[in-house]
Amino acid sequence: MNTFRTILSSSSKQMAVPQWCKSARNGAWVPGIRLTHQRSSSNPTKLFRRNSTIHLLGTMHIAEASAVAARHLIQHEHAKGTLGGVFLELDSPRFQRLRDLQNQQADESMFSHAMSILSRPSQNPVASIVELAFTTMYRTLHRLGFGSGVEFKAAIEVAERHNIPIVLGDQHVQTTLRRLADGFGKDFDLPRLMSIVLSQASKTARPETDTERKIRLAFQSIAQGDVTQAQERLAKLIDQESVREIMRPMQKYAPNVTNAILHERDVVMAENLISAADNLPPGKNSIVAIVGLAHMDGICSEWQKRNMIKEYQSSDRS
């Protein structure tokens, strides 16, 4: 059964001023949307717009636990009869790449793969190297038994089985790669690298945090090829507090890279998610949105800015 697929991009039209909606807290009429609390650690988190509900699920792209969660959430919401779309942190090329991996068409040698990227005449050489680094990492994990984008594959399979529209809401991967290349150039020039190395060398050793211990053990299992144990350990890292701890040093030492890989895409995805909510099919009033955990705070923050409301609700609302 074919799924009608909506592809949104960063060039989406400006959203109209939101309609008024009723505050569940005090009965007053307020403009915009109702939003879960800004630093919620609930996963999934609920965002509200007009009469629509967005179930925002944060995931880890190589964790089978995330695939299970995505599959369960979509099936649960579909059973209610009001699910109007599945929003994914993907663009069209990444969607197709997942398809290729699923169909075992990505069997070319590492050398051929590298040459196919580096020989593109129109691409920034630094962007090509960044792309090669990312794809090589995921291809290596795939060969070790750790699929990349497992939650997206699960979501696509369920959505297509039930004929639920799929929204590809991320910005184009080539735009992200160009921005990443610019970010690397700004964050990691020689003087800055020396400054980071010297600042770290002067610090006294501190005890390993719980999140650092979990990461070390997970990577240890991955390196040993123990898929079952690694998946168990990765599942323990699927929480927003762990991701926030991981992102803090990245934000400190590589702010431009962080902006390119996270914050700019948070803006694009928030805008595209609003557009999807405003264009739900008749009789539908909910969306399941599946994004990497690191994007959840940014999307919630952008959602709040764009809808001008200060009311927050617990995400355990039925």
Q: Is residue 318 part of a domain?
A: no
Determine the Cα–Cα distance for residues 52 and 303; give it in Å rounded to an integer: 14
pLDDT score, position 192? 62
Strands (E), 50-200: 52-59, 83-88, 166-168
Lowest-confidence pick of 11-20, 135-144, 205-214, 288-297: 11-20
Q: Does residue 260 belong to any structural domain of this protein?
A: yes
> Looking at residue 26, what is its pLDDT?
29
Q: For 156-193, write each residue's pLDDT tens digit.
A: 999 999 999 999 999 998 898 888 888 888 887 766 66
Looking at residue 137, its pLDDT comes to 61
Q: What is the span of the domain harbouring residue 277?
A: 5-12+21-313
Percent residues over pLDDT 70 in the chain = 64
The segment with the largest mean pLDDT, out of 107-121, 230-244, 299-313, is 230-244
In a domain, 244, yes or no: yes
Structural domain includes residue 305: yes
Q: Supply the pLDDT for residue 130.
A: 61
> Would the pLDDT of 32 be above 70?
no
Return the exposure string of 30-69: e unless at least 16 CB atoms fall within 10 Å of the residue's CB, then b.
bebbbbbeeebeebbbbbbbbebbbbbbbbbbbbbbbbeb
Q: Evaluate whether residue 101 is within a structural domain.
A: yes
pLDDT recorded at residue 100? 72
Asked if residue 301 belongs to a domain, the reply is: yes
In a domain, 54, yes or no: yes
Q: How deeply is 256 buried, as exposed, middle or buried, from its count of CB atoms within 10 A (0-12, 13-18, 19+)?
A: middle
Q: What secondary structure letter does DSSP report for 309? A: -
Question: 167, 85 in Cβ contact below 8 A?
Answer: yes
Alpha-carbon span 59 to 241, nearest angstrom: 13
What's the total number of domains in the chain? Answer: 1
